[in-house]
Homo-oligomer: A and B are copies of this chain.
Amino acid sequence: MLIVKKFGGSSVANAERINHVAQTIVKSYKEGNQVVVVLSAQGDTTDELIEKAMEINPEASKRELDMLLSTGEQQSVALMAMAIEKLGYPVISLNAFQCKIYSTSTYGNARIKDISTERINNELERKNIVIITGFQGVNRRLDITTLGRGGSDTSAVALAAKLGADICEIYTDVDGVYTCDPRIVKNARKLDEITYDEMLELATLGAKVLHNRSVELAKKYNVNLVVRSSMTDAEGTVVKEDTKVERMLVNGVAVDKDVARIAVMGVKDEPGVAFKIFSLLSKEKISVDLIIQSIGREKIKDISFTVTKGEMKQAVKIIEDNKNSIGFDSISYNDNVAKVSAVGAGMATNPGVASMMFEALYDAGINVKMISTSEIKITVLVNDRDADRAAVAVHDKFMDAGMQIG
């Protein structure tokens, strides 16, 4: 089997952990597999490098930041290769330009465009374990780029897709995907399988196990993903197109507390107003999440939406600065909110799920501020102090209902 294994920064934070991971890698190689490993930078390396940069120039160009940050992964792969050499197995480390991981030129948030697998395949044919820098690419000019948050997951999935790997294992500090964060909901349970779409909704909603871009990519190229623990040998959770088991009604409950709500009140009820607001925000790279538009009364309506807490003030300023061109009465905002979402592929065919969820929240006395639904997801916005209780209530409700009723 050709296996791609990805380990995050905490798994390679120090010599001891590197040695531990080296053994995990070698074990798989000894079983007769071809092994490609993708690594993040060690522990806090990236943060330390950013701090160094900020000390010199808080407005450093993203091009030079990427030049700086990419050294973190290069150090990881070299150190890991040394650890595997010590165990006596053939190994080579490669960085993005050596594997020709080509990306767009959006420094700091580049997308992988293509990977030329010749070098990697050569090394695999020579029986080498191949250790590759995650999180980074090179653009057409061979300048170094980084892939943004969760980039190493994306690197691993892209490599798995391009190499035609049999499996792509994402090692994390949890042993799989849970029905909810076990720190919030004590009886949360590990899922054996989950579909790409469900994982995508969970990832987007703040379940930090996998980055959503990596899941999108896995879905697009049908990569067999497994989320498993770097500490234990537990089986993990398989993410794939269709789970063999019956479609779950709700497969997971996610909580995201990094949310702020902005309401723009008294805008004209005519086409293009929402577009104007969101294009202004998008120009400044502010991502908008839940959007709710009240039903217009007397040619006036309200538009509410959520952004991350860190971007709230900037978003409010942008809207206020453009008050004349947008046209509105007032703006309100607060960051004491959180999102609670229920995700399940079975939801699409079962209209009763939403009402079960609202019932659970009502029973727990939790006020719902906004609601948004997709085919396989229901999200509610609640006060952040209610978030954990809401997650428990929703989780329990569906657990009681068996959760697997499709």
Known contacts being A61-B85, A68-B78, A71-B74, is A52 close to B15, with CB within 8 Å? yes
CA distance A86 to B56 in the complex (A): 8
Q: Is the CB of B59 within 8 A of A86?
A: yes
Cβ–Cβ < 8 Å partners of A57 in chain B: 82-83, 85-86
Q: Is the CB of B19 within 8 A of A143?
A: no
Main SS of chain A's interface residues?
helix
CA distance A150 to B311 in the complex (A): 47
Q: Is the CB of A82 within 8 A of B64?
A: yes
> Which interface residue of A53, A60, A67, A71 has the most chain B CB atoms within 10 A?
A67
Known contacts being A75-B49, A98-B142, is A81 close to B67, with CB within 8 Å? yes
CA distance A68 to B73 in the complex (A): 10
Q: Is the CB of B86 within 8 A of A79?
A: no
Cβ–Cβ < 8 Å partners of A93 in chain B: 64, 67
Known contacts being A64-B82, A68-B75, is A56 close to B18, with CB within 8 Å? yes
Q: Is the CB of B78 within 8 A of A65?
A: yes
Interface residues on A, range: 35 or more
Whether, in the assembled complex, A97 has its beta carbon less than 8 Å from a beta carbon of chain B, the answer is yes
Whether, in the assembled complex, A233 has its beta carbon less than 8 Å from a beta carbon of chain B, the answer is no
Cβ–Cβ < 8 Å partners of A142 in chain B: 97-98
Known contacts being A64-B93, A93-B64, A142-B97, is A56 close to B71, with CB within 8 Å? no
CA distance A23 to B209 in the complex (A): 45
Whether, in the assembled complex, A321 has its beta carbon less than 8 Å from a beta carbon of chain B, the answer is no
Q: Is the CB of A56 within 8 A of B19?
A: yes
CA distance A189 to B210 in the complex (A): 65
A residues engaging B (CB < 8 A)? Answer: 15, 18-19, 49, 52-53, 55-57, 59-61, 63-65, 67-68, 70-71, 74-75, 77-79, 81-83, 85-86, 92-93, 95, 97-98, 142-143
